[in-house]
């Protein structure tokens, strides 16, 4: 690889490399069809901003962390240990654009856990756990991360324990996402 090709790869990403290779081959088109032009920062010039989950200190508004979200389905799962039963409860939220609780999964029966579905909800058994399907707006979505509950955001690359963020209450919102109302 020549020094100029290595520099092009390092500075502007794969599209620049395609442009350099195409120019060397003497082709008229500098970019294969389907590849978007790149802005100077390396992002696609036509692409929207990244779809992210923004975590902020609820009281001060100080940003704590940003995490990537699926732009087609901006959702998160928040897990915590039930204070009486000691079992894991997992809440799934979809951003449309505000947070909507769409599913709660839990094991056992106890304080704060549904025993029967409400109007428009469905409660079903899945193995040893229960799954409540619903559509309840929770806007703003704010969580107080009690240490004993081990409240965490579940992510494919690893969980984020909310108590580690150093805020008494954490607000969640999606930014840069194209949300639907489904």
pLDDT of 125: 94
Q: Is this structure's pTM higher than 0.85?
A: no
DSSP conformation letters of 2-23 = -HHHHHHHHHH-HHHHHHHHHH
3-state helix, strand, coil in the chain (%, to 5): 15, 35, 50
16-25, 46-55, 92-101: the lowest-pLDDT one: 16-25
- Which pair of tokens denotes residue 92? 């799934």
For the cut 80, the answer to whether the pLDDT of residue 180 exceeds it is no
Non-local (6+) Cβ contacts of 34 within 8 A are: none
For the cut 70, the answer to whether the pLDDT of residue 7 exceeds it is no
**130 bridge partner residues:** 106, 125
pLDDT of 104: 97
pLDDT of 23: 31
For the cut 50, the answer to whether the pLDDT of residue 78 exceeds it is yes
pLDDT range class, residue 179, cuts 50, 70, 90: low
For the cut 70, the answer to whether the pLDDT of residue 88 exceeds it is yes
Residue pair 139/98 in contact (Cβ under 8 Å)? The answer is yes
Q: Once rounded to an integer, what is the mean pLDDT over residues 45-59?
A: 83
pLDDT range class, residue 48, cuts 50, 70, 90: low
Non-local (6+) Cβ contacts of 67 within 8 A are: 52, 53, 55, 153, 155, 160
Peptide bond preceding 97 in cis form (omega within 30 of 0) = yes
Measured distance CA(41)–CA(145) in Å, rounded: 36
Query: Pairing mode, if any, of strands 160-161 and 152-154?
Result: antiparallel
pLDDT in tens, 109-164: 888 899 899 999 999 999 999 999 999 999 899 999 987 899 999 988 789 999 99
For all residues of the chain together, what is the average pLDDT? 78
* Coil, strand or helix at 54: strand
């Amino acid at each position: 690889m020549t020094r100029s090709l290595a520099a092009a790869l390092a500075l502007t990403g794969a599209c620049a490399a395609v442009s350099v290779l195409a120019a060397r081959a003497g082709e008229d088109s500098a970019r294969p069809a389907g590849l978007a032009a790149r802005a100077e920062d390396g992002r696609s010039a036509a692409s929207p901003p990244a779809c992210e989950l923004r975590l902020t200190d609820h009281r001060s508004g100080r940003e704590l962390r940003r995490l990537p979200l699926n732009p087609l389905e901006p959702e998160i799962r928040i897990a915590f240990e039930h204070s009486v039963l000691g079992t894991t409860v997992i809440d799934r939220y979809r951003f449309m654009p505000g947070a909507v609780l769409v599913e709660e999964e839990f094991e056992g029966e106890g304080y704060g856990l549904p025993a029967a579905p409400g109007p428009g909800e469905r409660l079903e058994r899945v193995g040893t756990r229960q799954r409540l399907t619903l559509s309840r707006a929770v806007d703003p979505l704010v969580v107080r991360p009690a240490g004993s509950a081990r409240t965490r955001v579940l992510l494919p690359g690893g969980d984020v324990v909310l108590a580690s963020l150093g805020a008494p209450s954490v607000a969640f919102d999606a930014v840069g996402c194209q949300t639907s109302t489904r």
